[in-house]
Amino acid sequence: MNRCFEAGEGGKLPLAIGATVEKRFGPPLAAGAQVVRLIPNPRMAIVRIGDVEAILADGPMAFVDPSQFTPCGIDPLSRKIVVVKEGYLYPGLTRIAPRYIMLLTPGSGDMCLEHLTYTRWRKPLFPFEPNTTFDPQTASPTDAL
């Protein structure tokens, strides 16, 4: 992010994007980018990589409402495709999305629970073990752990 601010709006620079938290599934994306817009608070840079514009944030940030695109100079309704990197689509974005697709990817926030590494689970554990059932009326609070 610092490099985008140093380059300034209109500046061109090589970037390494992503893989800052989870490095097991691939390296950062190396890309040549042009800085389109800089936002000081919260600190974000809008960059163009080929025909794609990307919003880069300085730290974790979830886009949960269409109004968050406004300071970025982006009207999501005028775009053919808008991609947000979140575990699910928040209601504010769902209301404006004529169609949405959830892409399940590996990583520390994997939504496929069976892909996560569990080191302290009691077997059998519903729903991960075949032929295991769970009755919430008769179970103790720790049975689902």
| Spatial distance between the Cα atoms of 27 and 17, rounded to a whole number of angstroms | 9
Query: Rounded mean pLDDT of 47-60?
Result: 94
Collapsing DSSP states into helix, strand and coil, what is residue 53? strand
| Of residues 121 and 141, more confidently modeled | 121
Read off the pLDDT band of 115 (50, 70, 90).
confident
The pLDDT, as a whole number, for residue 141 is 57
pTM value?
Answer: 0.77
Number of H helices, E strands in the chain: 2, 4
| Spatial distance between the Cα atoms of 144 and 86, rounded to a whole number of angstroms | 26
